[in-house]
Amino acid sequence: MPAAILAGDALLALAEEILLDLGTAGSARAARCLASTTRRLIAGQALDLGFESRQDVTLEECTVMSLDKTSALFACACTLGAVLCEAPTRLALALAGFGSDLGLAFQLVDDLLGIWGRTEVTGKPVLSDLRSRKKSLPVTAALNAGTPASRRLAALYAQPDPLSEAQLVEAAALVEEAGGRAWAETTADKRIASAQAQLATAEIPAAVREEFMAVARFVTARDC
Amino acid sequence: MPAAILAGDALLALAEEILLDLGTAGSARAARCLASTTRRLIAGQALDLGFESRQDVTLEECTVMSLDKTSALFACACTLGAVLCEAPTRLALALAGFGSDLGLAFQLVDDLLGIWGRTEVTGKPVLSDLRSRKKSLPVTAALNAGTPASRRLAALYAQPDPLSEAQLVEAAALVEEAGGRAWAETTADKRIASAQAQLATAEIPAAVREEFMAVARFVTARDC
């Protein structure tokens, strides 16, 4: 564990070094983009950590957390090359917008898999996010829907004892009944459409566009 | 603990951002200096971690570890302002050299305090570094001295059970008997002299020089 944390920190420092080695104006801007992205990721992760001890997380707070924790990383990954080689600002922004929307879609799909994903796909036990009572996006949407199912789900999440297998299955059904699953699926689709629309405005070669599209398909086609 | 790790990582990212915000050539060089220093710190910390499970750490390895873990940070701290405002390379190197020597002296003094420091000064229990069988610089010097005391100290460090209070007192006496304490004190003095010699070559105002000297006095005058 200490070695893993050190390795992660070393990779971050190395990434900054490599970007700055070029010594160009784009190199410094790319390094700044990576540093501010890292800070946002950490802000998102810190928010997520804080959610663990709270029962009143709103859907807006949860979305802001996902935008910081996941979308910012995708946006940076998609635009960093353009920033580094000093591409026009319009192109860099279009790629960042594509990445940001794709990142939120990824998080929504990831959260759906955290409840309904098959173990052989996710590598995690079934219902794993419910087991740890994670306040993921579909769960938060369900908790805030104001339905009878929302209240029953909130009671399960507030229970001091670990949830039994039957309660886990019930909790998943309640997320669905309160509309959390449908909301997450619809929102993911909207974000993918928005990502594609932004990619369409980017003036890039067809082959490059196809590579970005392949990433979008990979992110959203993970088997539930 | 997770929050503390996140805060540390956020501060590192923020430091890079602030340096890069200036957008000057010196700003990018300073950011690169901080990133490569961070990587060296981590390399040193990883080495130190590896020492915990080894019985054959040489004094050279231990010195390299301290140069990475501590000296690099001091060197960066002392030279970063000069790099940022694009001072002559000769000045930046003199300040880095001052910091590097000062850093090793700091580590040697810190290691001496880890054995002989008073709790009210260090905030740690007496003999704390020996209790955790840390392979600090004076201990490594003693273990590698080839004396009868070195061998008795090695046997104590290899003992599977926790060291008793009597054994801790014995271990401290063995570090001294094998010459580890004297070596560390002499080496710290030499490093301070070298730091001062390098500072003397730096063309800086007398008031600034005095501030660097004050740091050197602070580092080395911690009461044992």
DSSP chain B: -HHHHHHHHHHHHHHHHHHHHT-SHHHHHHHHHHHHHHHHHHHHHHHHHHHTT-S---HHHHHHHHIIIIIHHHHHHHHHHHHHTT--HHHHHHHHHHHHHHHHHHHHHHHHHHHH--HHHHSS-TTHHHHTT---HHHHHHHTS-SHHHHHHHHHHH-SSPPPHHHHHHHHHHHHHTTHHHHHHHHHHHHHHHHHHHHHHS---HHHHHHHHHHHHHHH----
| Set of chain B residues whose Cβ sits within 8 Å of the Cβ of A49 | 2-3, 6
DSSP B64-126: HHHIIIIIHHHHHHHHHHHHHTT--HHHHHHHHHHHHHHHHHHHHHHHHHHHH--HHHHSS-T
| Set of chain A residues whose Cβ sits within 8 Å of the Cβ of B14 | 35, 39
Q: Say yes or no: A36 contacts chain B, CB-CB below 8 A.
A: yes
Chain A: closest CA distance from residue B143 (Å): 26
Share of chain B above pLDDT 70, in %: 99
| Set of chain A residues whose Cβ sits within 8 Å of the Cβ of B3 | 46, 49
Q: What's B182's domain CATH number?
A: 1.10.600.10
Q: Say yes or no: B205 contacts chain A, CB-CB below 8 A.
A: no
Share of chain B above pLDDT 90, in %: 87
State the Cα–Cα distance between residues B172 and B131, nearest whole angstrom: 10
Is residue B224 predicted with pLDDT exceeding 60? no
A171 DSSP 8-state letter: H
State the Cα–Cα distance between residues B144 and B139, nearest whole angstrom: 9
CB contact under 8 A, A39 and B14: yes
Are A38 and B57 in contact by the 8 Å Cβ rule? The answer is no
Give chain B's domain count: 1
* pTM for the full predicted model: 0.85
| Set of chain B residues whose Cβ sits within 8 Å of the Cβ of A31 | 16, 20, 28, 31, 35
Q: What is the pLDDT of residue A223?
A: 56
The token duo for A220 is 């959203």
Is residue B202 predicted with pLDDT exceeding 60? yes
**How many alpha carbons fall within 13 Å on the CB side of residue A44?**
21
State the Cα–Cα distance between residues B182 and B44, nearest whole angstrom: 24
Residue of A nearest to B35 (CA): A13
Q: Say yes or no: A16 contacts chain B, CB-CB below 8 A.
A: yes
Are A92 and A203 in contact by the 8 Å Cβ rule? The answer is no
Q: What is the pLDDT of residue B121?
A: 75
Q: What is the pLDDT of residue B223?
A: 56
Would you write out chain A's pLDDT as a tens digit for each of its 224 residues? 889 999 999 999 999 999 999 999 999 999 999 999 999 999 999 999 999 888 899 999 999 999 999 999 999 999 999 999 999 999 999 999 999 999 999 999 999 999 998 877 777 777 889 998 999 999 999 999 999 999 999 999 999 999 999 999 999 999 999 999 999 999 999 999 999 999 999 999 999 999 999 999 888 776 54
Distance of CA B171 to the CA centre of its chain: 22
Are B166 and B131 in contact by the 8 Å Cβ rule? The answer is no
C-alpha closest to that of A108 among A93, A80, A124, A129:
A129
Over residues B11-40, the pLDDT tens digits come to 999 999 999 999 999 999 999 999 999 999
Residue of B nearest to A3 (CA): B46
The mean pLDDT of B46-57, rounded to a whole number, is 91
> What kind and span of H or E run contains A202?
none
Q: What is the pLDDT of residue B55?
A: 87
State the Cα–Cα distance between residues A119 and A125, nearest whole angstrom: 5
Domain range holding A204? Answer: 2-220
Total count of residues recorded for chain A: 224
- The contacts of residue B145 (CB under 8 Å, 6+ apart) are B178, B179, B180
Over residues B92-121, the pLDDT tens digits come to 999 999 999 999 999 999 999 999 988 777
| Set of chain B residues whose Cβ sits within 8 Å of the Cβ of A12 | 9, 12-13
